[in-house]
Amino acid sequence: MAVIIDGKEVAREKREQIKARVEELKKQGKSVGLAVIIVGENPASRVYVNNKKKGCLEVGIESFEYALPESTTEEELKALVEKLNNDDRVNGILCQLPLPKHINEDAVINTISPEKDVDAFHPQNVGHIMIGDYTFLPCTPAGIMEMLKFYNISVSGKKCVVIGRSNIVGKPMAMLLLKENGTVEICHSRTENLKNETLSADILVAAVGKTKFVTEDMVKQGAVVIDVGMNRDEDGKLCGDVDFINVEKKASYITPVPGGVGPMTITMLLENTVRAVEK
Ligand code: NAP
């Protein structure tokens, strides 16, 4: 049976440290503020935004919410971002994705000042991640690296297989594992014979978005399995990409969903917001 990686516990400890840093900044007369923009009525986005606001409150970061109607134009949204770029109370700006179809997400992300881009999506920050010189950490992958560190799981020299190549998870995940000297492979929907690849993994990260995609026969005995997926099963219950019950028997460590990667993603957003002030 695998050790279950407790993302909530790692997040709790990390948030304590962040809270102390916020208090220290406040003693120096500096405020820490995060602006969160949400456009439209996507229920999942609403849950994420509420959790982000709750996280801010917990560590003493001031949050400013901008809830805009679905009909907001790209120009209006970019104008708001520009305004926040110039607002001294705001150290971090987050625009909850996805945006309505009529708005070009890249154009909006590119408008966020790289110094306030706490999601680390701006091309300038993506470039920093590529060269391993971080201003802001990519939240989900950075949260995963924190969990590995917390459980003393060494990456150096290990075969790491990441399933998924999105700009938000898969690609930056591969970069962070590489920085820690992992031997890294990225798989995707065109990968031939995926099982052959995943069976060689000492550390397997699943970021696919498909329920029970990673099955027991795809996992090497004793592998560390990180489940990034956030899906709904047929009963509407939150679940990951990994067939947890069966894979757990084979893995050495495994993250559950919920309670694994999710709590760490928001924690790293808080970390980036504090970094924005400390820098
Ligand atoms: P995404 O942009 O849809 O990317 C999914 C990736 O999976 C793509 O690279 C895709 O390959 C690959 N894929 C799809 N079918 C595959 C197959 N049959 N075999 C191999 N690879 C396949 O998703 P994402 O934004 O990275 O998110 C992935 C999951 O993580 C989602 O469930 C999302 O909700 C979750 N997530 C969780 C957190 C968190 O905090 N826990 C944060 C972000 C995302 P192609 O590129 O070839 O299409």
- For the CA of 207, the nearest atom of ligand 1: 28
Q: Is the CB of 137 under 6 A from ligand 1?
A: no
Q: In degrees to the nearest 10, what's the CA dihedral of 193, 199, 200, 202?
A: 140
Q: Is the CB of 192 under 6 A from ligand 1?
A: no
Of the residues 14, 96, 227, 250, which is catalytic?
A: 96
Nearest to residue 159, comparing CAs of 223, 236, 218, 207? 223
What per-residue confidence (pLDDT) applies to 115?
Answer: 97
Which pLDDT band holds residue 93 (cuts at 50, 70, 90)?
very high
Nearest to residue 115, comparing CAs of 231, 269, 234, 279? 279
C-alpha pair distances (Å), 140 with each of 63, 146, 172, 220, 257 = 20, 10, 9, 24, 14
What per-residue confidence (pLDDT) applies to 133?
Answer: 87
What per-residue confidence (pLDDT) applies to 33?
Answer: 98
Is the pLDDT higher at 115 or at 44? 115
Which pLDDT band holds residue 135 (cuts at 50, 70, 90)?
confident
- Whether 114 contacts 135, CB under 8 Å: yes
What per-residue confidence (pLDDT) applies to 234?
Answer: 87
Q: Is 156 helix (H, G, I), strand (E, B) or coil?
A: coil
Mean pLDDT of 128-147: 94
Q: Which of 105, 147, 166 to mutate to test the pocket of ligand 1 (most atoms within 8 A of CB)?
A: 166
What per-residue confidence (pLDDT) applies to 158?
Answer: 98
Q: Is the CB of 230 under 6 A from ligand 1?
A: yes
Q: Is 49 left (phi over 0), alpha (psi -120 to 50) or beta?
A: alpha
Name which of 87-96, 131-140, 247-256, 258-267 the model is least confident about.
Answer: 131-140
- Please say if the pLDDT value at position 134 is more than 90: no
96 catalytically annotated: yes
Q: Is 58 helix (H, G, I), strand (E, B) or coil?
A: helix
52 catalytically annotated: yes
